[in-house]
């Protein structure tokens, strides 16, 4: 609860119990902010908010009706005002914790999760991002990769009240461009990489980079910017931050480097150099892009003041992230890798890695599809990539969003001319089929869903067990259950 004069320049000391930007959730003695979103204008719902009990309306346009007993504040930008007021209402929670923002086209989830897990050894830590919101053993779904301002401030307030000292959060280009984190005090900003994604939203690559750049512009001179030297946009971000800079890379000389890299199916070995010292490490992460993620983690830990031993311990004991290059090895000596894999560059990186570590005459079997009503170019590119790298493809449902699954798969299949491919519309049956046909040394790739437990339809979603659960249940049914019955 706050007094109105604590939030606005007014003599009115009315008690305010909540603040809202969605009229459906307005409560008595609350403030309603008329936010102009991508598809909805909050000014249309002022009367609904008043009916629900709002006593204060913050708006930027003329309203059709003004009530005598309602207080109105007209501002130039209601989103800016929402960020300011929500920060004050929740007692500026980001000022009381270390907040680490991670942005990039890919790797945000992995790096933020790694940071949360590494810091958990030394203090209470939290994570906000694609997978969930997590702290102190609690786990709940996030509405977006980077949630809207009110949700963020409320959750940071709850984290702080629960004793959390460090929060690693994903800062998506959408979240940055839409001003969702403008009220957050970031201590450290991390850049993983920048591709040419989400141009349907940003319009141009330049606008996309500017959205990412915004996170680094928010860093104060006492803060840190952790930057990937090997990324083409490195200099742009370096020149647009006041923070102290730590660089990491593999190709270009950096503060933190990985050399002599050996990639294996279940781990990676490399020499890591920082602060003038070099250490040979054995890390459970797989694929080259995850080496970069480990280097980003190293940069954060150094910026946080961790000593060499703490850094190496974190690198060598990275916890697996659900649905992110999640490796499941079997007694039948074939392996399954599950990954979220959203962009064509992600697919190619995984295909290249698996092609490099496969053993003997083992095959690469992939279960994949393409999302409906999105990035139609991906379908053709995916088929062409599959043709180059894979041995057997099972095309299936991803998120059809009302499009015909079979037709999506047929578009991909047209590009697959040199290898076997089949269409099995049920994702669960497709995964089970991949397990059924696998032999010794084969590697099965199940791509596109990762951690997700839903399938997006034309309207809404339908529950889905998850790729990992389906794999484990299929292995149990096909291989292990029969063995128990034989023993009986």
- 146 annotated binding-site participant: yes
Identify which of 345, 107, 130, 127 has the alpha carbon closest to the alpha carbon of residue 228.
Answer: 107
Report, in this order, helix, strand and coil percent for the chain, each rounded to 5: 35, 25, 40
Strand 54-59 and strand 30-33: pairing? Answer: parallel
Torsion angle of C-alpha atoms 83, 87, 92, 95, degrees rounded to 10: -10
Strand 224-228 and strand 30-33: pairing? Answer: unpaired
Token pair 């890379």 is found at 249
CA distance 225 to 216: 7
- Using H for helix, E for strand and C for coil, what is the string for 77-115? CHHHHHHHHHHHHCCCHHHCCEEEEEECCCCHHHHHHHH
Supply 51's token pair. 């009916």
CA distance 146 to 157: 16
> Which H or E element spans position 191?
strand 188-191
- What are the residues facing 453 on neighbouring strands? none
CA distance 256 to 250: 9
- 324 annotated binding-site participant: no
- 172 annotated binding-site participant: yes
Identify which of 391, 396, 393 has the alpha carbon closest to the alpha carbon of residue 355.
Answer: 391
- 345 annotated binding-site participant: no
- 23 annotated binding-site participant: yes
Supply 177's token pair. 């461009």
Q: Which residues are annotated as a binding site?
A: 23, 145-146, 172, 180
């Amino acid at each position: 609860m706050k007094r109105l004069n604590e939030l606005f320049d007014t003599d009115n000391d009315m008690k305010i119990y909540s603040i809202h930007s969605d009229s459906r959730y307005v409560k008595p003695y609350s403030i309603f902010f008329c936010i102009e979103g991508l598809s909805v204008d909050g000014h249309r719902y002022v009367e609904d908010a008043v009916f629900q009990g709002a006593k204060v309306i913050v708006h930027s346009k003329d309203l059709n009706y003004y009530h005598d007993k309602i207080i109105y504040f007209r501002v130039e930008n209601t989103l800016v005002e929402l960020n300011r007021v929500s920060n004050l209402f929740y007692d500026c929670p980001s000022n009381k914790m270390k907040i680490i923002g991670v942005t990039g086209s890919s790797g945000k989830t992995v790096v933020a999760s790694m940071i949360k897990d590494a810091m958990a050894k030394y203090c209470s830590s939290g994570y906000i991002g694609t997978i969930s919101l997590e702290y102190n053993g609690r786990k709940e779904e996030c509405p977006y990769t980077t949630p809207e301002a009110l949700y963020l401030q409320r959750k940071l307030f709850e984290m702080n009240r629960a004793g959390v000292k460090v929060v690693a959060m994903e800062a998506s280009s959408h979240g940055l461009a839409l001003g969702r984190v403008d009220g957050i005090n970031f201590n450290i900003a991390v850049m993983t990489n920048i591709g040419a994604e989400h141009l349907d939203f940003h319009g141009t690559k330049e606008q996309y980079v500017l959205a990412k750049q915004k996170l680094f512009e928010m860093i104060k001179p006492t803060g840190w910017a952790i930057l990937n030297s090997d990324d083409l946009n490195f200099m742009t971000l370096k020149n647009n931050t006041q923070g102290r800079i730590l660089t990491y890379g593999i190709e270009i000389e950096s503060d933190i480097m990985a050399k002599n890299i050996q990639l294996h199916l279940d781990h990676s070995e490399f020499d890591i150099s920082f602060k003038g010292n070099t250490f040979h490490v054995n890390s459970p992460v797989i694929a080259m892009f995850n080496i970069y993620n480990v280097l980003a983690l190293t940069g954060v830990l150094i910026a946080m003041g961790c000593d060499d031993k703490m850094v190496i311990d974190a690198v060598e004991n990275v916890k697996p992230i659900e649905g992110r290059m999640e490796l499941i090895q079997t007694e039948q000596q074939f392996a399954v890798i599950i990954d979220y894999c959203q962009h064509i560059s992600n697919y190619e990186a995984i295909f290249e890695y698996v092609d490099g570590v496969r053993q003997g005459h083992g095959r690469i079997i992939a279960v994949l599809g393409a999302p409906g009503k999105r990035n139609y170019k991906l379908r053709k590119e995916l088929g062409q990539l599959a043709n180059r790298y894979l041995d057997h493809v099972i095309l299936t449902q991803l998120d059809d969003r009302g499009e015909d699954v079979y037709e999506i798969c047929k578009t991909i299949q047209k590009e697959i001319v040199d290898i076997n491919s089949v269409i099995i519309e049920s994702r669960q049956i497709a995964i089970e089929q991949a397990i059924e046909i696998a032999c010794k040394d084969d590697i099965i790739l199940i791509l596109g869903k990762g951690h997700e437990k839903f399938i997006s339809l034309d309207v809404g979603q339908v529950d889905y067990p998850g790729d990992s659960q389906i794999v484990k249940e299929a292995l149990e049914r096909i291989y292990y259950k029969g063995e128990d019955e034989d023993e009986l």
